[in-house]
Amino acid sequence: MQAHFTDALLIRKAVIAGTPQQAAAPAEALAKAENLDNLPAGWGQFVEPMQQTARRITDGTSAAQIAAATADLGVACGKCHLQRGGPKGWSAPPPVEGTTLTARMQRHVWATERLWEGLTIPSSKAWDAGAKALSTEPFPAEILKQGGVHVRSAASDFAKLVVKAPTGKTVEERATLYAELLLVCGGCHRAINEAGSQ
């Protein structure tokens, strides 16, 4: 399970960073998980859906497809955890609200982890905590000025999504929103990196 957790983390980091192609290797590791015959009784029914979803990540040809499959991977994990037991979730409070980009990003990281737990534990408490933490002003004005049109567009999309986050009550609604959020975050980070390399 620890290996699965690590692979899922690497997948999410790749999509959020705007480099979804880097999600292929950890997704392939999930899709080809071995020693399945040694799983405790009742776990096998959950492994195949997880592996099928991981294959969608490796086969994805667009950031949107990979983001959607990543969210669905969280749902697949959550179904197993709901039946077989799983992680308990966070204990640390969110980082304090701040006005700097670093402070905002630290809060975004904490919040997206809670949204992920909302899917994978699954936990409405975690989802609601993540949605609440994202609801503050997302970006300082200076980064919007420096980042160009792609960053401003992503920030606008982000603001619309975080308003919708608290309304996501079903697992399907939450997975859809999480996928959209991954896509927006990745697009913004990619635009910032490309602007910095010019």
Model confidence band, residue 140 (pLDDT cutoffs 50, 70, 90)? low
Quick one: average pLDDT of 43-72?
Answer: 92
Confidence (pLDDT) at 181: 95
User: Which amino acid is residue 34, in one-letter code?
Assistant: E
Could you tell me where the DSSP H helices lie in the chain? 2-16, 24-31, 44-59, 63-84, 101-120, 124-134, 141-164, 171-196
Confidence (pLDDT) at 135: 83
Quick one: average pLDDT of 68-90?
Answer: 89
Confidence (pLDDT) at 65: 97
> What whole-number distance in Å separates Cα of residue 153 and Cα of residue 194?
15
User: Rounded to two decimals, what is the model's pTM?
Assistant: 0.90
Confidence (pLDDT) at 86: 77
Confidence (pLDDT) at 194: 78
Confidence (pLDDT) at 38: 64
Contact residues for 159 (Cβ-Cβ < 8 A; gap 6+): 138
User: Ramachandran region of residue 34, left (φ > 0), alpha (ψ -120 to 50) or beta?
Assistant: beta
Contact residues for 77 (Cβ-Cβ < 8 A; gap 6+): 4, 8, 50, 86, 119, 120
Confidence (pLDDT) at 147: 66
pLDDT exceeds 70 at position 36: no
